[in-house]
Structures are given as structure tokens and as C-alpha cells.
Structure 1
């Protein structure tokens, strides 16, 4: 059941995002669009409530609870960032907004990657906290190895993102060479 709910929440995120941005820029109803976008956190609260209720009703802690915690951590860390990023692009494409900045190079790109790593750190921290709370909640009454393995997954994701960010420091991305326009 939780896997289905994670999928529904992910699909719901994109549906609410498309609906909110559509209302904001295509229907020219910015307040209504913002209200729809503000409903998005209700999806994660629903998922969290379902996971807690499942554990409370004697559900065995499993990989589905771990997936739910990781999903919630990801949306806490990247949800607002994703909405803002897409909002800037929609404002440019469908509204009168400025063109969003393009790809970054050199130091600016490395800083951007480390900011993404900080978001991943926040998401991992939320997921780890939710998983640990689940472990403490069920206590010794059940096998919590499924939840502990997802804690390791969250830490691996954090390390991988750190390695990616470090590569932009070690091997900075260079701007493409500009060619002079010839008539």
C-alpha cells in the first residue's frame, strides 16, 4: 500500500505543479495557482500519516516505510527548489519573466553543485530522522533491519552527491569557446 501511495504522491506532485503553473500563467490566475502549489505539502503529510498508521496498526517495518521516508526527505529538500526552478521557466515561457540563467561554469558551477549537496544533506537528515523515529517507535517488537538499510541508502546518496560536487571543484566545467560571427 505504501509503495502505491509513494507513486500517487509523486504523480500528485507533478499534477499539482502543472495545474498550479497552468493556472498562474496560462489562465492568468496567479493567486489560485499559488494556492494550488501550496497544497503540495499535504501529499507528504498524507504519506507520513499513512506510514505511521501502518506501523501503529502492527505493520512490519519494511523497505516500503524506508522508501516513504526517503521520498519525504527528498521532497522536503528539493520540493520548493523544483517548484521555484519550474516557476522561473514557466514565467519566461508563458509570462513576461526574464530568461532563467543557463548552465554555469567554473567556480559558479562548483558552488551550485555544493548547494545541491547541502540540499541532499537536508533531505538525508530528514529521512534519517524519520527512519530513526520509526525504529524507536516499533522498538524491539519488530525487525527494524529494513529501516536501518534505508538509513545506509540515504548516507550513500549523500556521499555520491558529494563526489559529484567534488568533481566540479577538481575538474571545473569550462564555458564553450565562442566563435566570432562571420557575415
Structure 2
């Protein structure tokens, strides 16, 4: 059941982004578009509540409950960046006014990768707090072991991402 909530949250997020972009650029309602963009965190709040209710009603925690925590962390940490990306794509493909993104090399790429890793850490901390909050409330037993497994896997992914991201700082790419 929780997978449908996550899918619904993702669809709602992108529908709000598209609505905000249409309001901003097509209908020229900039102030209203800002309110629409600002409403995107409400989707996270709804997902947290639905996940908690699902678990409170006796559902056995599974990978998707952990995924909802990851979704929330990523949405909060990367939300503005995702909106900026969508804004650039909208300008480029719909309005035909945007430019192709500049490919980065060397120190610029290293800096961007390091910043991406910092955002990943922020997403991880938020998601881990949610997972451990669920574990604290529900207890760590057979019903919640999947949450712990998701946290462990995400911890490994974070370390790998950190190694890759930092490698760009110490071994910068060169322009071909």
C-alpha cells in the first residue's frame, strides 16, 4: 500500500512543479507560482503522515516504508535543485529560450560533486532521523527489521557516493 503513496507523492510533486512553471511563464502569474512551488513540502508532510498511519495500523514495515523516508530526505535536500532543473528544462524545451547546460571540468566539476555530496548527507540525515524515529516508536523487532536494512543499505550508498564525489576533487576531469 505504501508504494502507492510514494508513487502518488512523486506524481503530485511533479504536477505541482509543472503547474508552477505554467503559472510563471505561460500565464505570467509569478506570485502564485511561488506559492505553488512553496507547497511542494506539503507533499512530504502528507507522505510522512500516511507512512506513520500505515505502520500504526499494524502494517509490517517493508522496504517501501524505508523508501518513503529516503524520498522525504531527498525531496527536502534536493527540492530547490530539482525545481531549478525543471525551470531550465521548461525554458529550453517549451519556451525555446534556455541554453544547453554547460559541461563542467576540473575544479568546477569537483566543487559541484562535493556540493552534491553535502546535499546527499543532508538527505541522509533527514531520512535516517525519520527511519530511526519510526524504529524508536515501533521498536526494533521483526515488524521493523526492513527499516533497519534500508538504513544500512543507504549508509553504504552514502559512503560510495562520498568516495566518488571526493575523487573529482582530487582527480579532476580534463576537457577532451
**TM-score, scaled to structure 1:** 0.85
Q: How many residues align?
A: 175
User: Cα deviation per residue 1:88-141 (whole Å; 9 max; x = unaligned)?
Assistant: 454577398x85861221011101100000000011111111110111111256
5 Å-filtered alignment, 1:80-99, equals 80-90=80-90, 94=95, 99=99
Distance in 2 separating the partners of 1:123 and 1:135:
18
RMSD, matched Cα:
2.2
Distance 2:141 2:117 in 1: 36
Gaps of 5+ in 2: none
What's 1:23 paired with? 23
State the Cα deviation string for residues 58-87 of structure 1 (Å, max 9, x = none): 222222211111111111111112112333
Report the alpha carbon displacement of residue 26 of structure 1 after superposing the two structures with TM: 1.4
Partners of 1:87 and 1:170 lie apart in 2 by: 32
Aligned-pair CA distance for 1:142? 4.9
- Greater radius of gyration (CA): 1
* 1:1-183 equivalences in 2 (<5 Å): 1-90=1-90, 94=95, 99=99, 102-139=102-139, 142-176=142-176
Distance 1:157 1:120 in 2: 10
Deviation at 1:160, TM superposition (A): 2.4
User: How far apart in 2 are the matches of 1:141 and 1:117?
Assistant: 32
* CA displacement at 1:19 relative to structure 2: 1.1
Unaligned runs of 5+ in 1: 177-183
Q: Matched residues in 2 for 1:24 and 1:157: separation?
A: 37
| Structure 1 range deviating more: 73-82 or 53-62 | 53-62
